[in-house]
Amino acid sequence: MTEWDNFEDHLRASLRRVEAPAGLQERILHAARLRRLRRQLWLRAAAVLLLVISAAAYGVFWRLQVRARQAEQARRQLELAIQITNRRLSQVEQQLSSIGVKTIRFEEVSQ
């Protein structure tokens, strides 16, 4: 039997747990706190950015909506104008027809 037969005991003694150095715990806690703060800042920045993008997108959407409404309003008004125009033209045509005038040709006048 040699002194190395219980080599595993030597291994256990050599590899026994060593204590963490003083100050390591505080260093790690500080690093964790910093990381948490940084993440919160990033989240806030991301939230603000998202808000800005959403507001911009909504602004674009709102402007498109307004434009669509304006276009629709304009369309209705043009239709109204055409209705009134055609009614009056038809009235005049009937009046002229009653006195024997067949059609009105505007091309001759416009040249």
Partner 1 sequence: MKRLWVIWPATALALLAQAIDFSVLDKLAGKAKESAVVNLGPEQLSLVAGLGGKGGAEKLGDLAKELRAVQVRSFEYDAPGMYDMELVRSFRDKVKASGEWTSVVSVKEKDGFTEILVKKGTQGKPGGLLIVAAEPKEVSVVHVEGLFDLSALRGLGVLPGVPSLGAGPKKEAAPSPAPKSGKQE
Partner 2 sequence: MPQFADLLREHQSLVYSLAYHALGDRAAAEDLTQEVFLALHEHLGKLESEAHVKAWLMRVTANRSIDEIRRRRYRRGPSLEQTSEPVREPLQEEMVLRDEVRRLVATLPATARTILILRYQEELELAEIARLLEVPVQTVKSRLHRSVNLLRQRIARKFSAARAGRQA
Q: Is 105 helix (H, G, I), strand (E, B) or coil?
A: coil
CA count, 13 A, side-chain hemisphere, 9: 4
Measured in whole angstroms, how far is the alpha carbon of residue 18 from the centre of its chain? 56
Residue from 25, 40, 65, 83 in contact with partner 1 (CB under 8 A): 83
Q: Does the protein bind partner 1 through residue 40 (CB under 8 A)?
A: no
Question: Rule CB under 8 A: is residue 4 a binding residue for partner 2?
Answer: yes
Identity of the residue, 20 or 99, whose beta carbon is nearer to partner 2 in the bound complex = 20
How far is the C-alpha of 2 from the C-alpha of 55, rounded, in Å?
82
Displacement of CA 68 from its chain's centroid (Å): 19
The residue (of 28 and 56) whose beta carbon lies closer to partner 2 is 28
Does position 106 interact with partner 2 (CB under 8 A)? The reply is: no
Give residues 12-41 in contact with partner 2 (rule: CB under 8 A).
12-21, 24-25, 27-29, 31-32, 35-36
Helix (H, G, I), strand (E, B) or coil at 35: helix
- Minimum distance from residue 35 beta carbon to partner 1 (Å): 53
Contact 101, 109 (CB under 8 A): no
60 binds partner 2 (CB under 8 A): no
CB nearer partner 2, residue 14 or residue 98: 14
